[in-house]
Structure 1
């Protein structure tokens, strides 16, 4: 019986996107002398087969979600037998060394799903990340559909997890910690994510309860693995928003392999559709590479490098924002003078040496350096009118402000410069005690040198009167007595900081797999220690130490139903980074303590089949009890800390995700999250934290036309209830608990695969491509008016503050061309 899938969205009939139910194993096969072996016969138990080329390389597609035995055989060498069980779309590198005298028969099943389930890790297919695009493409575009992850700004790659903020997330690439610029205050300025999706092999994400081997943050870990290529290839992607190109190669002897990518991004298409009109030039570019040289089968050397340049020039002209109700519509009309010039240059390089002492012991050394030079300059005069809007249909001035309730101006100025240099030196190791037990350890030194000049002021004029800050000490008794105090800016921050932070970190953890009756049991216990010293010019040196124990336990009962239960938790610390040391006036407070969180996670994974297709339901309940909390305010993507540890907080919630093949051959999921997080500042009572995202619904759905399987579609849906909208400068957050409107967004993509690697083509021009597709995308398909912050304007009559939403991107259309050679 023929199958018909369709989705009707506002009268639009679309069908589209899929993955075949396969996984890929690739690698290079060497002999005892580290020389490649050609013509090795490779055969899978399911019938697939291939041979190695003259450089010893191979690539084999096998069915996913099945246990597949693969045999490697060659005349003059002993055969190698290995079992694999990979998930749909997964790519795994396997590089056996074939011996002459010793029989090699391995009976261990390589099943990454088991490890991820035990660790509480969500794995995302690299192909899915490359395929499913968004207004800000990359790994983060997929993360926003996961439960517990909040991204309410499509122009930003920053995300908050289970009540944490943007600074509470760890990002690793091949075990190397990566950083992002410091000064960026708006998603418009942010540009590209560090992670280049064209280079990615594996993506793992943990939303909490992670192991001791990961660093000292309170919320999440994004663990990226870049791939070692096995042949020559080029991948390119072009769209109206920019493009990327990536190339990979391997030397003839197989010792050297490298992959590199260049990306360019211009967000003018998106930003020119915002409410604020003007001349905008957002240009972002980066170049990245990952190189490997195999000196021998025991010693490998890797290099990760990245150069990034973000330039954001903006000359605003005018803006009109309509808000209020149908009965009482209100509008803010603003005229601008001046401009903004921001620039962020970052340079990152890391060397990683791997020494495989034997099959059980691996020693690693990682050295990295990160340098960022940032400037944020602007002088913008905004003159505004706030008033009632003409709603009489047919009038020439329909929609214009016809009666002003507020008139004033605002001058904002900044000359912010930052130069930061961070170096790391780390030794890591792991030792396999037996087939079921592993010990891992690390010792790491970090030196941070930050030079920061912060000059910002804001002058507000309302109806001809200069507005002073609320905490101004000199009373104004006009008109009865003349005011003789100085004219003061509403906000004035000036600071010059030269800060050094030296850190020593270490961890040790033990992992074991065993049996308890007929049930499989997995557990991990570990501990981290973090010692740091803050010093610098005109700063009194301060030293602190924290110890963080962590543990995980999982059991897979011998039941007819495929279930796994997991509990994880521990004591998590976040020693302050530079931005957490700097208070709201720009002054560095070296005595700021590490924020502390007791974290417990209870999880269940239930795997089952519907319609003879695999599905999985993942459920996690969590609780965080936080102390020594460093309160902050959130302005778009800029965080301003109070740097005084005078609060305590909590967060608890429930995350659920159902993923599987809702359409045969594709992977889709639906997620739900409930979160409540509050803080008590200086024992004044609990109020919502800036990231109090109560409800979250997300969906990633893929489909295709049954009779045209190469015409594919993806639909990316997100619904979040509104978070607290912040407060005016100097205001008491206890007096401003108004929430932003709910965040609703739908991104749609349709693509047609002209060339697919699973099919052969006779056309000469198609033979040049391994993959070729064209498509179009609709961002914010329903044109929802989402907001990220509020602009606060004073009514001259009632003296009240209006919270005027700053709207995010409207509906945008994009075209895309992708190819692989």
Structure 2
């Protein structure tokens, strides 16, 4: 069984000769003290060698590969830290140790950030794994979607839902700065790039629920990203058929100033042009990110994080044919289009932070940030459609083509939507740590200024008769009976809003690590509050306030030969309405919307053990959430439209399981399984499934290599999810119309061969430190996944058909990766 993954991999790869490789790996990073001040002259050693950190705290150490090596970090006045590493050949691993002056290391327990993450219920992801795993939208969110409890049925989108929540319920931080979703995005192919540039990332922490009070006011999850601080000059470039990524980093001669820059260009025409709709499609997604730091002295430093993003989406559909139905009753939808769509999303983001550390126990931070987005959504598209019967004779040259058509109709969609939003924040965070006691606090003021114009309508004509919306009291028997009432669009929305939202929020939390008999225990108690005021032109000012207490407890028993951590967390979580949640289905702002409230109960366990003499961890969590003052919504692709009424209650419960470890020596892989049930009760009409009721989720992430050619690697990312509720026609009552989309199954595979690595003979005479060539196959099994349905009515029979809108088929991509 040990060799099984290798035999599976060899089925993909043929005719590759063996190569001779070096037998070492490299550790490098910066050593810090408890308050993140770099430490010079730290002695770093293992059985056969060692080194010292320089005046900036930087070190680089070569260690043997393919076996467990214990590395010791020692410094006068600090407790010794021992960490065990098992790296693969030629691997470059960044490790930034934190030396402690107070906490003694006991026996063979290793004090590390990974252990602290287990205690706090945080999933820590390896940035290098993020950069390697293939996906139609590669990056942090692509890897998150393979975790249990996290779901996304759209490979073109970076959005994800967590444990029954929607896309708006997830917190995302970059260097302690909260970032935001676009407002007007309707579909995944319009999103372009994630704001997180994975080439710049150092740490990735993720919590799927029960998180601490120091994190903000959302209902579902926290993604906490930290960009790295350069320790040397380096550059990288990634080129593929989908786009180009470039990053560079360096530091000044005195090592007080560091700079990290990343630029990206993305064009997913390769993916979208492979879909069922023939189009003239021109997507252009570009962004530039910078992270600068300047250390004045050991007590004060300043850093700046900046981002400029420009997404342009040009779309001219031409024709579409979708075959659906059954073999006994095949049906085809044929559409001819006129018109175009022009969308534009321009985002500017900047944040400056000052960190002051007056002594070894106290850390104070002040941050000012600004987020500005200008978004445009303009389209006029006329679709002439027909239903027909395709030729099912596979021997016929015209197999699949439509023999005859019926139910001729048309649809005209129009939009002139513009939004301009400016969000300004100023916040203070503090931390006081003495021994095993830690106190955290924070205070934040935010002003959100939104100017929004919504103007869109849809007109449907079937066999010459304008279809009216199915409003109460109106019946439409066309074409059998004349309907002489005034014509109206099937759907129409028109609004103009000028809104100001002022928010003041704060938190206070206390943490302690203690000995409990022979076990170790940790607890965290915290509370956060927010007060907000909604005002604006023709809007009656409304002020509200919420208070959210939270707590976590972890226990690590002192069991011989068994490494387990048990966790329990509970708390109240509020989500004060953002602008999207204040806007009702017709686009009007309702300032009285309350904060949605959720009570979290989470119980979890981490079991670390050895399997095949390699490290593995089995993580499981059971959770229950009760939600009140729920603001119900509809979900179409990635667009969320709220009813702006707190007229429902809901619940979510489930179980998440993940087995992670070295299925193949020196690599990281995992299998995840999640069960979820979430329902809502609207106006006491009874419980029905919520739009994110993802009953079953199975994820599989696997890395492998040819044993005799370790530079030839395989990366596999596979997800299976049961279908979501949805796909209902406009105006449908969810209590009457309850259907589910088909299940979602997708597998992306990537092959990469490292031509040049740090130990190869070519590297000495080359400008490259690393050079690799890869082939990616998206949706390798060519599964037809659908994200929504288009509803078409047959005028002759008045029957309505749900026509699936399919996502991307199998697509091939070439990729070149270089490190300088």
Q: Indicate the residue corresponding to 1:460 in structure 2.
A: 460
Q: Secondary structure at the match of 1:141?
A: helix
1:314-345 alpha-carbon deviations (Å, 9 max, x no partner) = 10000011111111111111110000000000
Please name the residue that 1:664 is paired with: 665
Q: Report the secondary structure of 1:583's partner residue.
A: coil
The aligned residue for residue 83 of structure 2 is: 85
What is the CA distance between 1:430 and its match in structure 2? 0.4
Cross-structure match for 1:100: none
Aligned partner of 2:499 in structure 1 is 499
Distance in 2, Cα, partners of 1:55 & 1:474: 76
Closer, same or farther in 2 for the Cα pair 1:793/1:537, shift >3 Å? Answer: same
Contact 1:21 1:666 survives alignment (8 Å): no
Q: Is the 8 A contact 1:529 1:546 kept in 2?
A: yes
Q: 1:723 matched to which residue of 2? A: 724
CA distance in 1, matches of 2:516, 2:68: 26
The whole-number CA distance in structure 1 between the counterparts of 2:801 and 2:350 is 47
| 1:19/1:665 contact within 8 Å kept | no
- Alignment partner of 1:312 is 2:310: no
1:152 Cα offset (Å): 1.0
**SS at the partner of 2:589?**
coil
What per-residue deviation string (whole Å, max 9, x for no partner) do you get for residues 98-156 of structure 1? xxxxxx89845641122101111100001111111311010011111100000111110
Q: Distance in 1 between matches of 2:223 and 2:521?
A: 25
Match in the other structure for 2:713: 712
SS in 1 for 2:723: coil
Q: Quick one: distance in 2 between partners of 1:95 and 1:135? A: 37
Q: Could you tell me how far apart the structure 1 residues matched to 2:549 and 2:197 are? A: 33
Q: What is the Cα deviation at residue 460 of structure 1?
A: 0.2
Tell me how far 1:388 sits from its aligned partner: 2.2
Match of 2:90 in 1: none
Q: Which moved more, 1:675-684 or 1:81-90?
A: 81-90
Equivalent residues of 2:174, 2:226 under 8 A apart:
yes
Moved more, 726-735 or 301-310: 726-735
Q: What secondary structure does 1:208 align onto?
A: coil
- Partner of residue 436, structure 1: 436
SS in 2 for 1:579: helix
Q: Is the 2:39–2:53 contact (alpha carbons within 8 Å) kept by the matching residues of 1?
A: no
Task: Give, in angstroms, the shift of residue 278 of structure 1.
Answer: 1.2
2:687 aligned residue: 686
Tell me, yes or no, if the aligned pair for 2:756 and 2:763 is still in contact at 8 Å. no
TM-aligned CA distance change 1:95 to 1:548, over 3 Å: closer
1:134-188 Cα offsets, whole Å, 9 max, x none, are 1101001111110000011111000000010000000001111111211000001
Q: What displacement does 1:563 show?
A: 1.1
Q: Which runs of 5 or more structure 1 residues have no equivalent in the other structure?
A: 73-77, 98-103
Deviations 1:37-77 (A, max 9, x none): 7xx584313434235568774223568987632245xxxxx
SS in structure 2 opposite 1:408? strand
Q: Rate the CA distance shift 1:61–1:464 in 2: closer, same or farther, 3 A.
A: farther
CA RMSD of aligned residues (A): 2.7
Deviation at 1:362, TM superposition (A): 0.5
Aligned to 1:43: 44
Report the Cα offset of residue 352 of structure 1. Answer: 1.1
Contact 1:81-1:105 at 8 Å conserved across structures: yes
Q: Does 1:564 align with 2:565?
A: yes
Change (3 A) 1:785 1:162: same
Residue 124 (structure 1) aligns with: 125
SS at match of 2:264: strand
Instruction: State the Cα deviation string for residues 644-675 of structure 1 (Å, max 9, x = none).
Output: 11111111001000001111111110000000
- The aligned counterpart of 2:522 is 522
When residues 365 and 329 of structure 1 are mapped into structure 2, their CA distance, relative to the original with a 3 A threshold, is same
Quote the residue 1:350 is aligned against. 351
1:48–1:807: structure 2 CA closer, same or farther, 3 Å change rule? farther
Partner of 2:411: helix, strand, or coil?
A: strand
Query: By how many angstroms is 1:734 displaced?
Result: 1.7
Do the aligned partners of residues 740 and 23 (structure 1) sit closer, same or farther apart at CA in structure 2, a change above 3 Å counting?
farther
Structure 1 residue 519, shift from structure 2 partner? 0.7
Secondary structure in structure 2 of the residue aligned to 1:158 = coil
Query: In 2, are the aligned partners of 1:65 and 1:85 still within 8 Å (CA)?
Result: no
Aligned to 1:777: 776
Deviation string 1:288-337 (CA, Å, 9 cap, x unpaired) is 01110001110011100000000010100000111111111111111100
> Residues 19 and 272 (structure 1 numbering): CA distance in 2 closer, same or farther, change over 3 Å?
farther
CA distance in 1, matches of 2:84, 2:356: 27
Name the CA shift for 1:764/1:515 in 2 (closer, same or farther; >3 Å): closer
Conservation of the 8 A alpha-carbon contact between 2:763 and 2:769: no
Structure 2 CA distance, aligned partners of 1:627 and 1:41?
Answer: 53
More moved, 501-510 vs 21-30: 21-30
Q: CA separation in 1, counterparts of 2:322 and 2:42? A: 68
Aligned to 1:75: none
Aligned partners of 2:28 and 2:58 also within 8 Å? no
Contact 2:44–2:71 at 8 Å: present in 1 too?
no
| Greater CA drift, 800-809 or 339-348 | 800-809
Assess, with a 3 A threshold, how the Cα gap between structure 1 residues 582 and 760 changes in structure 2: closer, same or farther.
same
Secondary structure in structure 2 of the residue aligned to 1:6: helix
C-alpha contact 1:726 1:733 (8 A) present in aligned 2: no
Quote the Cα distance in structure 1 between the aligned partners of 2:344 and 2:752: 35
Moved more, 652-661 or 798-807: 798-807
Which residue in 1 is equivalent to 2:327? 326
Cross-structure match for 2:139 = 138
Tell me the secondary structure at the aligned position of residue 552 of structure 2.
strand
1:69 is aligned to 2:67:
no
Moved more, 383-392 or 192-201: 383-392
Q: Give the Cα–Cα distance (whole angstroms) in 1 for the partners of residues 288 and 817 of structure 2.
A: 19
Distance in 1, matches of 2:382 and 2:472, equals: 23
Closer, same or farther: CA 573–314 of 1 in aligned 2, 3 Å: same
Deviations 1:494-543 (A, max 9, x none): 00000000001000000011111101111101001011010011111111
SS of the residue aligned with 2:95?
strand
- CA deviations 1:232-279 (Å, max 9, x no partner) are 110111111111110001111111011010000011111110001010
Q: Tell me the SS of whatever aligns to 2:236.
A: strand
- Counterpart in the other structure of 2:795: 796
Is residue 175 of structure 2 the alignment partner of residue 174 of structure 1? yes
What secondary structure, in the 3-state scheme, does the structure 1 residue paired with 2:645 have?
coil
Q: Secondary structure at the match of 1:776?
A: strand
- What CA distance in whole angstroms lies between the structure 2 residues aligned with 1:253 and 1:435? 33
1:701-723 per-position Cα deviation (integer Å, ceiling 9, x unaligned): 11110111111111111000111
Q: Which residue of 1 aligns with 2:804?
A: 805
- The alpha carbon displacement at 1:727 in A equals 1.4
CA contact (8 A) 1:86 1:113 kept: no
CA distance in 1, matches of 2:444, 2:42: 44
Structure-to-structure mapping, 1:116-515, within 5 angstroms: 116-395=117-396, 397-432=398-433, 434-471=434-471, 483-515=483-515
Return the TM-score normalized by structure 1.
0.93
Contact 1:69 1:81 in 2 (8 A): no
State how far apart, in whole Å, the 2-side matches of 1:770 and 1:815 are.
Answer: 21
Tell me the alpha carbon deviations over residues 713-754 of structure 1, each in whole angstroms, 9 at most, x when there is no partner: 111110001111231111112222111111111111111112
8 A contact 2:789–2:805 mirrored in 1: yes
- Contact 2:356–2:365 under 8 Å retained in 1: yes
Deviation digits for residues 525-571 of structure 1 (CA, Å, limit 9, x no counterpart): 10010110100111111111010011000111121221111111211
1:486 deviates by: 1.8
- Check 1:365–1:273 CA distance in 2 against 1; reply closer, same or farther (3 A cut): same
Unmatched tracts of structure 2, length 5 or more: 88-92
Residue by residue over 1:625-646, the C-alpha shift from the partner in whole angstroms, topping out at 9 and shown as x without a partner, is 1111111111100000001111
1:631 aligns with 2:632: yes
Cα contact 1:582–1:588 (8 A) shared by 2: yes
Q: Cα distance 1:115–1:764, how it changes in 2: closer, same or farther (>3 A)?
A: closer
Contact 1:5 1:705 in 2 (8 A): no
Q: State the Cα distance separating 1:29 from its structure 2 match.
A: 9.2
Shift of residue 28 of structure 1? 7.4
Q: Is the 8 A contact 1:726 1:736 kept in 2?
A: no
Distance in 2 (CA, whole Å) between partners of 1:87 and 1:207 is 28
